[in-house]
Amino acid sequence: MFTKNILSNFKNDLPAGVVVFFVAVPLCLGIALASGAPLFAGLIAGIVGGIIVGSLSNSSVGVSGPAAGVAVIVLTSIQSLGAFEIFLVAVVLAGIMQIVMGLLRGGVIGYYFPSSVIKGMLTGIGLIIILKQIPHAFGYDADYEGDLSFLQADGENTFSELVNMLDYVSLGSVIVSLISLFILLLWELYLSKKHNIFKLIQGPLVAVAAGIGYQLITSAFSPAYTIQKEHLVSVPVAKTFLDFLNQFTLPDFSHIISVEVWIVALTIAVVASIETLLCVEATDKLDPHKRITNTNRELFAQGGGNIISGLIGGLPITQVIVRSSANIQSGGQTKLSTLLHGLFLLICVTTIPHVLNMIPLSVLASILFIVGYKLAKPSLFKQMYRLGWCQFLPFIVTIIGIVFTDLLKGIAMGAVVGLVILIKNSFKNSHFLHQEVFDNKFHKVKMTLAEEVTFLNKGAILETLNKLLEGTHLTIDMSKSVSIDYDVLEIIDNFKNTANDKGIEVVLLNRGEAQTADY
């Protein structure tokens, strides 16, 4: 009922779109700066991610745009290829590859990551958002907005930056951060529950307005407390329409046959697709209505977005969890909020860049503090711990990996731990053993094999067989097994052939009905 008429949720999607717009502006600019690309390229990717990808995707609350996870690839690729125009060819080709992946149903990749890892990803991103935004709240903006990596481009790391910022505290930024946090918490905890008008006019919008008002008042009456330009949003300003058009860059297709261009394209396609699919999984979990995104269509949508972004001078696009989380937490219900955020980017960048450039980064830091806290609530740690170590260990390893490395490496670390636990459990769960003992001499044992028995279960089964005592009557029941690995059958047959020598009687049930799985 949510997709039949997206306009029916306009009252929820409009304020959510505004909040995502304010969050997206500095992230688009920061990621472009870290990528070594023109700042306008980040804004183009944000606009295309909102309007084009938002139109093609069936994700109800996912938001797409330039991603920090691809920034290093973009930076090194532009340097190795020699020009941004050549790099744009790779972006277009990456988009075509993603469309092909979608048509070939490559979207299933995201389903193979354990739920504990996805929850760890969300929590880890929440923590890293908070840690990375603390310097911005204090007026120290040496690291770019949107950075999620432990090692930073400014030579510091996440934690050393917190110490380094103490030498560069901006009083104006701190004041604005505190005012913004007060407004956000007042809206969140009190006003939004009192009247519907406070749901339509979101706290982040009021906080941004307060930040701009602070700038106007202090610049007029107390310049000493005014926040300096380097601590404000910095959208490129075109003096004329021709200057605006000149900010778009066209790809140089004369290099389309270059092997290096194709390698870069493949790298972008793979990394952007994996990051998108992981974000789709995470976003679907955050969605209050638990709607499921068609991942193959999402790859198609991302591919279409990257083709258009590359053709007009934009950065590569993925679905991004920070903006998607902000959308969900602000009450976004349908893809209309995503479309509106892209439309607001387009309108405001072209018409009122001067107003955007009055927004203090410390306001946006306060907004992201709330987003980060909601992703990394302490109650989630307790919930995962109660589920046991099989769930908690991949969860906590993913968090630690994200905080101390980066997003994709952290997820990979959590997935490896999850795989090890899966193998260990598979090793244990190959069979069920029922024993009866008569007169302390005659042992009656029934071994019931599992539905799926693979080569990973050889050790557990062999260990059980070797522990059987002389005089045991063993029944091996294969009636519940659909697939048994040849290696396991070989172990059983060998044991049966030598059992008489050990004084053990072996009976096989349904030996011929189980299908042999030859791996």
Is 477 part of a structural domain of the chain?
A: yes
Single residue among 332, 353, 374 that ends a domain in this structure = 353
Of 106-115, 132-141, 274-283, least confident by mean pLDDT is 106-115
158 plus 255 within the same structural domain = yes
Strand partners, 509: 477
Distance set, CA 58 to CA 12, 107, 276, 335 (Å)? 18, 13, 13, 8
136 plus 275 within the same structural domain = yes
Single residue among 337, 353, 369 that ends a domain in this structure = 353
Distance set, CA 92 to CA 31, 65, 294, 328, 469 (Å)? 19, 15, 23, 30, 68
Nearest Cα to 468, choosing from 432, 493, 499?
A: 499
Is 339 part of a structural domain of the chain?
A: yes
Is 394 part of a structural domain of the chain?
A: no
Q: Is 230 exposed, middle or buried (0-12, 13-18, 19+ CB in 10 A)?
A: exposed
Is 401 part of a structural domain of the chain?
A: no
Q: If you ran DSSP here, which 8-state letter would residue 256 be given?
A: T
335 plus 449 within the same structural domain = no
Give the pLDDT of residue 199: 80
> 37 in the Ramachandran plot: left (φ > 0), alpha (ψ -120 to 50) or beta?
beta
pLDDT band at residue 462 under the 50/70/90 scheme: confident
Give the pLDDT of residue 512: 53
Q: Are 414 and 117 in contact (CB under 8 A)?
A: yes
435 plus 349 within the same structural domain = no
- How would you label 42-77 residue by residue, b for 16+ Cβ within 10 Å and e otherwise? bbbbbbbbbbbbbebbebbbbbbbbbbbbbbbbbeb
**Euclidean distance between CA atoms 266 and 269, whole angstroms:** 5
Q: If you ran DSSP here, which 8-state letter would residue 19 be given?
A: H
Question: Structure tokens of 438?
Answer: 């008569």
Nearest Cα to 398, choosing from 63, 106, 127?
A: 127
Q: Are 62 and 338 in contact (CB under 8 A)?
A: yes
Single-letter amino acid, residue 183: I
441 plus 316 within the same structural domain = no
434 plus 337 within the same structural domain = no
pLDDT band at residue 436 under the 50/70/90 scheme: low
* Global confidence as pTM: 0.85
Of 127-141, 186-200, 384-398, 448-462, least confident by mean pLDDT is 448-462
247 plus 155 within the same structural domain = yes
Is 220 part of a structural domain of the chain?
A: no
Residues of the chain with pLDDT > 70: what percent? 94
242 plus 326 within the same structural domain = yes
Give the three-state DSSP class for 484: strand
Q: Count of domains in the chain?
A: 2
pLDDT band at residue 472 under the 50/70/90 scheme: confident
Given a cut of 70, is residue 349 above it in pLDDT?
Answer: yes
Is 179 part of a structural domain of the chain?
A: no
Nearest Cα to 250, choosing from 89, 113, 406, 114?
A: 89
Give the pLDDT of residue 430: 56
Single-letter amino acid, residue 10: F
Is 414 part of a structural domain of the chain?
A: no
| Range(s) of the domain holding residue 150 | 27-167+233-353
> 178 in the Ramachandran plot: left (φ > 0), alpha (ψ -120 to 50) or beta?
alpha
Given a cut of 80, is residue 152 above it in pLDDT?
Answer: yes
132 plus 275 within the same structural domain = yes
- Give the CATH number of the domain where residue 490 resides: 3.30.750.24
Average pLDDT, the chain: 90
Give the pLDDT of residue 516: 43
156 plus 305 within the same structural domain = yes
> 368 in the Ramachandran plot: left (φ > 0), alpha (ψ -120 to 50) or beta?
alpha
340 plus 442 within the same structural domain = no
Q: If you ran DSSP here, which 8-state letter would residue 51 be given?
A: I
Is 186 part of a structural domain of the chain?
A: no
Given a cut of 80, is residue 380 above it in pLDDT?
Answer: yes
Residue 31 sits at the vertex; the CA angle it makes with 109 and 254, to the nearest 5 degrees, is 80
Single residue among 353, 379, 409 that ends a domain in this structure = 353
145 plus 46 within the same structural domain = yes
Given a cut of 90, is residue 205 above it in pLDDT?
Answer: yes
Q: Are 194 and 105 in contact (CB under 8 A)?
A: no
Residues of the chain with pLDDT > 90: what percent? 70
Q: What is the pLDDT of residues 174-203, one digit of tens each?
A: 999 999 999 999 999 999 888 888 888 889
Give the pLDDT of residue 480: 82
